[in-house]
Amino acid sequence: MDCKETQHCIHLFLKDELDRDTEQKFVEHVHSCSECMEELTIEYLLLEGISRLENADDIDVQSELEDKLNRTMNRKKVCGQLKAGLFLVAALIFCIFLLGGA
């Protein structure tokens, strides 16, 4: 994903409207590109900051944005672990089926 695509997806990411694959590519790019991270931070501040200021709520943009990015990366890891686990279970069932049929 390049900067232009990433910046186009910022608003969708903040609204949780990206599909999983695009979301992962987005987060990977943002972590490696300081310009896109800056754009994301600004958009987040505008989106969340205004509503929280109206409600007099505190906002810690940097840590909240990092939490959101980290949750996305953790979902990717968990999905990978689940796929590996399902593969092992399927392989075990297949082996049992082969040995049981002999």
Its pTM stands at 0.60
pLDDT score of 2: 94
pLDDT score of 3: 94
pLDDT score of 92: 85
CB 31 within 8 A of CB 69: yes
In a domain, residue 80? The reply is no
In a domain, residue 55? The reply is yes
Domain span at residue 36?
3-74
Number of domains in the chain: 1
* CA quadruple 41, 56, 52, 74: dihedral sign: positive
Q: Return the axis-axis angle of helices 34-44 and 20-32, rounded to nearest 10°.
A: 110
User: Splitting the chain (102 residues) into consecutive groups of 10 residues, what average pLDDT does each group show?
Assistant: 94 91 92 92 82 66 81 81 85 82 56
